């Protein structure tokens, strides 16, 4: 008779298993997308419905949902709460997706989850996102968080996270992204995002337009949450872009935010209104959430939660900035801020790469024309070849810089930009989460552990 000792899985083996056995959207794109809650329901039943063991805030939107999630989580931390935070995608390390008070999930917990539930995962074959979300919900329950901030992965109505019934729902904005899944009009996309709105659960909408506002109003009517004002505990629907609460707050005491992108004003407004609404809800639970908590949370959001890659300065000489904006709706704000910086610096060097499901032509149209471009491709087969990016740019841009070039790797493109830039220039790195993630590893990337 032979006896065999059980050999524990390593963290790298656990991560390799997750990537190999469950299709990951960030690696293979649309083929990994599994709309619907069937797998999620099965996972939650298997795990004992961990999402019922903590209250939550649910956040959807085309852009800004990650920053808004972190702003809200940081403010809740400042109120003394133990806060779970689930976001996606990660930039460098898988564990960025799952945090408690800014600290990423431990490697040993990732291994424990995979080892304990591998046979069930092998049988169910959920997507990578479904498995990661299940791990987060299990971890939050095990660690007994006071509240969790949960970011939607894609869309809303059919997203795996939509199994929760939160204290508050938040939808940041609506733009054209993932149109093959969510629809080809803003109204259709809004309809999918509005799927997170639930009966008698308050909801904050960050930005609206004539196409999307009626969609949200109709859904709110259906869910019995129509109303106005933040001073009541009754269920309500609030449009943050009509409230001006952030302006009033600034008139009293300007809130400093650790996020410096121009677009963050909109996210701060959404987060501020969401926190005002949430303070009423939490008060009924005996929890005090005050303006001082918001201010401290905003001022220390990156420090408290570990958020990276949002208009982040990587180097001062030359000024080197990265940002994860990856569609025309987000990059137009990046372009505006780069144009402003260009007035006080010499040459603008742009290192950019994108993936194949983005509106690349629209992005090209909003990028600065007076710049030198270093087109590149991240280490994912979804990356658009750098040579194709260069050719497309030359066909769209009214100004061609003979020095624009294509580079086969992010590192090569950044090194080329650094070689050409002087201390009076600007280097910008972006176009996709993948490009920013690889850039961070070339500079400095400490995890909150």
- In the Cβ-directed half-sphere of 54, how many Cα atoms lie within 13 Å? 26
Mean pLDDT, rounded, of the chain: 88
pLDDT of residue 229: 47
Which of the two residues, 235 and 444, has the higher pLDDT score? 444
Q: Which of 144-148, 191-195, 414-418 has the lowest mean pLDDT?
A: 191-195
Q: Are 429 and 436 in contact (CB under 8 A)?
A: yes
Q: Where in the chain is CATH 3.90.190.20? A: 312-442
Task: State residue 59 phi and psi, 5-degree precision.
Answer: -130, 120
Span 397-408, average pLDDT: 83
Q: Say how far apart CA 358 and CA 364 lie, in whole Å.
A: 11
pLDDT of residue 131: 94
Do the strands 98-100 and 83-86 form a parallel or antiparallel pair, or are they unpaired? Answer: antiparallel
pLDDT score of 332 more than 90: no
pLDDT band for 231, please (50, 70, 90 cuts): very low
pLDDT of residue 308: 95
Does residue 37 sit in helix, strand or coil? coil
pLDDT score of 121 more than 70: yes
Buried-state track 78-111, b at ≥16 Cβ within 10 A, e below 16:
bbebbbbbbbbbbbbebbbbbbbbbebbebebbb
Can you spell out the DSSP letters for 335-348? HHHHHHHHTTSS-E
Span 83-109, average pLDDT: 97
pLDDT band for 55, please (50, 70, 90 cuts): very high
pLDDT band for 7, please (50, 70, 90 cuts): low
pLDDT score of 181 more than 70: no
Please give the CATH topology (third level) of the domain spanning 312-442. 3.90.190
pLDDT band for 5, please (50, 70, 90 cuts): very low
Do the strands 348-352 and 237-239 form a parallel or antiparallel pair, or are they unpaired? Answer: unpaired
Which of the two residues, 416 and 403, has the higher pLDDT score? 416
Tokens 């908590």: give the residue.
Answer: 293
Span 318-329, average pLDDT: 90
Q: In what order do the strands lie in the sheet with 348-352?
A: 312-316, 319-323, 426-430, 348-352, 372-375, 405-406
pLDDT of residue 383: 92
Q: Where in the chain is CATH 3.40.1190.10? A: 11-305
- Express each pLDDT in 357-396 by its tens digit: 667 888 888 899 889 999 999 998 889 999 999 999 988 8
Q: Are 242 and 217 in contact (CB under 8 A)?
A: no
pLDDT score of 245 more than 60: yes
pLDDT of residue 241: 83
pLDDT score of 267 more than 80: yes
Which of the two residues, 225 and 55, has the higher pLDDT score? 55
Span 285-302, average pLDDT: 94
pLDDT of residue 179: 55
pLDDT of residue 197: 95
pLDDT score of 44 more than 80: yes
> By percentage, how much of the chain surpasses pLDDT 70?
88
The rounded radius of gyration (Å) of the Cα atoms in the chain is 22
pLDDT of residue 134: 97
Q: Which of 19-23, 199-203, 240-244, 415-419 has the lowest mean pLDDT?
A: 19-23
pLDDT score of 27 more than 60: no
* DSSP 8-state code for residue 240: G
Span 282-298, average pLDDT: 94
Q: Does the domain at residues 11-305 carry the CATH identifier 1.20.140.150?
A: no
* DSSP 8-state code for residue 105: P
pLDDT score of 180 more than 60: no
Span 183-193, average pLDDT: 85
Q: Which of 65-79, 235-249, 363-377 has the lowest mean pLDDT?
A: 235-249
Which of the two residues, 364 and 4, has the higher pLDDT score? 364
Helices (H) and strands (E) in the chain, counts: 18, 14
> By percentage, how much of the chain surpasses pLDDT 90?
63
**Closest CA relative to residue 178, chosen from 163, 158, 201:** 158
pLDDT band for 25, please (50, 70, 90 cuts): very low
pLDDT of residue 228: 52
pLDDT band for 256, please (50, 70, 90 cuts): confident
pLDDT band for 232, please (50, 70, 90 cuts): very low
pLDDT of residue 226: 76
């Amino acid at each position: 008779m032979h006896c065999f000792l059980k050999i524990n899985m390593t963290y790298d083996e656990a991560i390799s298993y997750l990537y190999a056995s469950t299709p990951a959207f960030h690696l293979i794109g649309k083929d990994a997308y599994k709309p619907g809650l069937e797998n999620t329901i099965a996972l939650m039943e298997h795990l004992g419905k961990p999402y019922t063991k903590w209250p939550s805030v649910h956040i959807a939107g085309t852009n800004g949902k990650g920053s808004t999630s972190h702003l809200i989580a940081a403010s809740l931390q400042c109120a003394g709460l133990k806060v779970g935070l689930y976001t996606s995608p990660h930039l460098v390390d898988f564990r960025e997706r799952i945090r408690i008070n800014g600290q990423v999930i431990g490697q040993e917990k990732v291994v424990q989850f995979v080892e304990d539930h591998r046979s069930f995962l092998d049988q169910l074959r959920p997507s990578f996102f479904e498995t990661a979300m299940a791990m987060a919900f299990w971890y939050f329950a095990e660690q007994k968080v006071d509240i969790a901030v949960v970011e939607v992965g894609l869309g809303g109505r059919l997203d795996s996270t939509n199994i929760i019934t939160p204290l508050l729902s938040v939808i940041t904005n609506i733009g054209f992204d993932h149109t093959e899944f969510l629809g080809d009009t803003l109204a259709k996309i809004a309809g999918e995002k509005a799927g997170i709105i639930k009966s008698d659960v308050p909801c904050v909408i960050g930005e609206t337009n004539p196409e999307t506002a009626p969609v949200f109003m109709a859904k709110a009517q259906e869910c019995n949450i129509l109303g106005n004002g933040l001073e009541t505990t009754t269920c309500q629907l609030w449009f943050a872009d009509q409230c001006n609460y952030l302006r009033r707050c600034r008139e009293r005491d300007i809130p400093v935010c650790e996020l410096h992108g121009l677009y963050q004003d909109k996210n701060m407004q959404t987060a501020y209104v969401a926190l005002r609404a949430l303070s009423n809800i939490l008060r009924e639970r005996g929890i005090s959430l005050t303006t001082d908590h918001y201010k401290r949370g905003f001022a220390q959001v990156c420090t408290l939660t570990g958020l990276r890659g949002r208009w982040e300065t990587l180097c001062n000489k030359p000024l080197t900035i990265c940002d994860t904006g990856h569609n025309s709706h987000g990059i137009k704000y990046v372009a505006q801020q780069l144009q402003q910086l260009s007035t006080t610096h010499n040459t603008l060097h742009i290192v950019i790469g994108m993936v194949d499901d983005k509106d690349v032509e629209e992005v090209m149209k909003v990028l600065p024309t007076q710049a030198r471009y270093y087109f590149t491709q991240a280490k994912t087969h979804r990356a658009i070849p750098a040579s194709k990016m260069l050719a497309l740019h030359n066909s769209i841009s009214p100004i061609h810089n003979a020095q624009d070039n294509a580079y086969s790797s992010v590192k090569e493109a950044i090194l080329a930009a650094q070689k050409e830039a002087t201390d009076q220039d600007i280097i910008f790195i972006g176009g996709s989460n993948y490009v920013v993630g690889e850039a961070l590893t070339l500079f400095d990337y400490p995890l909150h552990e």
